[in-house]
């Protein structure tokens, strides 16, 4: 890992802020479309939005070519894609007579689109790092939220003259999860690459499924979560309680002195990690779920706890989100639009990871968490999970606890997102710098490895990059 630290003052010019609406040709876009929120959506009610950037390298891309070819194609295809994803052109609203907020699309709604030019160093920002986390912030669009309305998504297209461009998408987590966000972006890319034909259907694997009745959970969980969110607002006034405005406080503050880097765990590394851990597991690991996810999560967690060091008694919460679609009974289509996931987390002592057998401990813990999802009801324990999350977030904000969670997934296949100009040079999740999360994606070269994105304090990043090749 190259530990040269890059810090640059990047210059950015916003050229246009506009709304992209579904095409008026589509029959659906001329009528209202409502979607209720399920308990899975309301769980995420005020969590910070998820911000993704897709960097496309196009050497010699001139402003003229960007403005006359790329920009019109991206805008037109976004509009056509919204015909299939009307709720994303809409907003979260809370009508006075409704017990909970809804997603509402009304004709003339659209997605906020920002167009910008940047003189920042494309090569650094789309590299494996290390650079200031805040350098990415000008590239992500801000989700518009207020007391009475919250956008579902926002999009930004940024040109880096003679280098390429970047597509930024910010998603309201109560509207869509990572599975749906990536399906939407792939649909947009598909339509763009196909040449923007009107009324053309999406292939089955990209066609969203809007029937909310298939996600069934324990009765009353939606209102339980909503009431917990309202109680957490700290306000007695009904208007501010019911406000749809998102502040970053729910997931911790924004980055100020964090740096970012990407680390890869290759297929060969996984082989080595398996070989090292197996002899140390009871019954030669027969009962342990040794997937690449479990190995990566356990390995990175161990390195992160060691990178922070300190008191062995301090608490560490390690958490991930599981996709419930295949695990519900009956299973729900992967095309289900919205949130169909559950967080899973456990709290341990730093000592358990700092120990000589820290990695073995982490593997057993992560394996147990994944196995519980398979062997028991996938929604077990959901009644307590939001209040437990609030407790953990509070302790983390008081620096009493280190949270390590996972955003994204190697299954999303983000590097397959081709709008017609090739696959992305780099995909990052900007919002990990607010949440203490690591990000995961498949390796870009399709070699079966996993890419891990980190945003850490500089000294922890130094420690991490020293430890990463030699932690086990």
Q: Is residue 277 within the footprint of ligand MLC (CB under 6 A)?
A: no
φ, ψ of residue 304 in degrees (nearest 5): -70, -40
Helix, strand, coil proportions of the chain in percent (round to 5)?
Answer: 40, 25, 35
* Burial track 123-140 (b if 16+ CB lie within 10 A, e otherwise): ebbbbebbbbbbbbbbbb
CB of 187 to ligand MLC, least distance (A): 16
Q: Is residue 291 within the footprint of ligand MLC (CB under 6 A)?
A: yes
With CB under 6 A as the rule, give the number of residues binding ligand MLC. Answer: 21
Among 158, 170, 181, 243, binds ligand MLC (CB under 6 A): 181
Q: Is residue 190 within the footprint of ligand MLC (CB under 6 A)?
A: no
Q: How far apart are CA 135 and CA 117, in angstroms?
A: 14
Among 57, 409, 463, 465, binds ligand MLC (CB under 6 A): 409
* Burial track 179-204 (b if 16+ CB lie within 10 A, e otherwise): bbbbbbbbbbbbbbeeebeeeeebee
Q: Crossing angle, helix 458-467 and helix 292-308, to 10 degrees?
A: 130
Q: Is residue 178 within the footprint of ligand MLC (CB under 6 A)?
A: yes
| Residue (179 or 402) nearer to ligand MLC, CB | 179
Q: Is residue 114 within the footprint of ligand MLC (CB under 6 A)?
A: no
Q: Which whole-number Å values give the CA distances from 334 to 179, 260, 328, 341, 411, in the listed order?
A: 8, 31, 11, 11, 12
Q: How far apart are CA 361 and CA 404, in angstroms?
A: 15
Only one of the segments 145-153, 177-185, 247-255, 350-358 lies at the binding site for ligand MLC (rule: CB under 6 A); that segment is 177-185
By beta-carbon distance, which residue lies closest to ligand MLC? 178
- Choosing from 6, 352, 418, 457, which is the catalytic residue? 418
| Residue (269 or 323) nearer to ligand MLC, CB | 323
- Choosing from 84, 172, 173, 425, which is the catalytic residue? 173
Q: Is residue 170 within the footprint of ligand MLC (CB under 6 A)?
A: no
Among 87, 90, 129, 408, binds ligand MLC (CB under 6 A): 408
CB of 29 to ligand MLC, least distance (A): 25
Write the binding mask 191 to 210 for ligand MLC: x where contact by CB under 6 A, - elsewhere: --------------------
Q: Is residue 179 within the footprint of ligand MLC (CB under 6 A)?
A: yes
Three-state DSSP class for residue 354:
helix
CB of 273 to ligand MLC, least distance (A): 11
Which residues on adjacent β-strands are paired with residue 277? Answer: none
211 is catalytic: no
Q: Look at the alpha carbons of 285, 286, 292, 297 in this order and tell me if their dihedral is positive or negative.
A: negative
Q: Is residue 447 within the footprint of ligand MLC (CB under 6 A)?
A: no
Q: Crossing angle, helix 267-277 and helix 358-375, to 10 degrees?
A: 100
**Residues in 51-70 at the binding interface with ligand MLC, rule: CB under 6 A:** none
Q: Which whole-number Å values give the CA distances from 281 to 197, 277, 353, 449, in the listed order?
A: 56, 7, 15, 23
Confirm if 382 and 302 have CB atoms less than 8 A apart: no
Active-site residues, by number, are 173, 418
Instruction: Tell me which residues touch ligand MLC (CB under 6 A).
Output: 50, 177-179, 181, 289, 291-294, 320-323, 341, 370, 373, 407-409, 411
């Amino acid at each position: 890992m190259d530990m040269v630290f890059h810090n640059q003052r990047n210059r950015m010019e916003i050229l246009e802020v506009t709304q992209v609406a579904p095409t008026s040709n589509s029959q659906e876009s001329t009528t209202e479309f409502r979607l209720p929120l399920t308990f899975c959506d309301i769980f995420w009610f005020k969590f910070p939005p998820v911000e993704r950037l897709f960097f496309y390298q196009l050497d010699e891309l001139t402003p003229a070519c960007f403005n006359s070819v790329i920009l019109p194609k991206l805008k037109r295809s976004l509009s056509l894609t919204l015909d299939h994803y009307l709720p994303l052109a809409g907003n979260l609203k809370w009508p006075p007579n409704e017990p909970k907020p809804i997603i509402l699309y009304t004709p003339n709604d659209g997605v906020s689109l920002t167009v910008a030019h940047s003189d920042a160093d494309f090569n650094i920002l789309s590299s494996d790092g290390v650079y200031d986390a805040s350098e990415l912030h000008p590239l992500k669009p801000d989700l518009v939220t207020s007391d009475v309305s919250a956008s579902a998504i926002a999009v930004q297209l940024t040109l880096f003259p003679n280098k390429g461009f970047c597509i930024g998408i910010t998603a309201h987590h109560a509207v869509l999860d990572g599975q749906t966000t990536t399906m939407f972006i792939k649909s947009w890319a598909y339509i763009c690459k196909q040449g923007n034909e009107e009324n053309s259907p999406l292939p089955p694997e990209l066609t969203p499924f809007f029937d909310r009745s298939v996600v069934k959970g324990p009765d009353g969980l939606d209102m339980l979560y909503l009431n917990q969110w309202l109680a957490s607002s700290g306000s007695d006034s009904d208007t501010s309680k019911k406000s749809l405005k998102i502040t970053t406080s729910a997931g911790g503050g924004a980055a100020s002195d964090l740096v970012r880097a990407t680390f890869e765990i290759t297929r060969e590394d996984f082989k080595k990690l398996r070989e090292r851990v197996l002899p140390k597991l009871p019954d030669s690991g027969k009962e342990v779920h040794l997937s690449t996810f479990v190995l990566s999560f356990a390995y990175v967690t161990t390195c992160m706890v060691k990178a922070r060091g300190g008191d062995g008694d301090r608490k560490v919460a390690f958490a991930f989100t599981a996709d419930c679609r295949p695990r519900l009974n009956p299973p729900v289509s992967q095309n289900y639009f919205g949130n169909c996931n559950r967080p899973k987390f456990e709290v341990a002592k730093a000592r358990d990871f700092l120990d000589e057998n820290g990695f073995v401990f982490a593997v057993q813990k992560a394996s147990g968490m994944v196995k519980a999802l398979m062997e028991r009801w996938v929604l077990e324990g959901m009644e307590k999970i939001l209040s437990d999350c609030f407790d953990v977030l509070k302790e983390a904000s008081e620096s009493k606890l280190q949270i390590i969670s996972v955003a994204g997934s190697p299954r999303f296949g983000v590097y397959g997102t081709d709008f017609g100009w090739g696959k992305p040079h780099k995909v990052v999740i900007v919002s990990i710098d607010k949440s203490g999360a690591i990000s995961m994606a498949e390796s870009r070269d399709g070699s079966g490895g996993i890419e891990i994105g980190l945003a850490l304090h500089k000294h922890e990043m130094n420690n991490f990059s020293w430890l990463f090749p030699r932690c086990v």
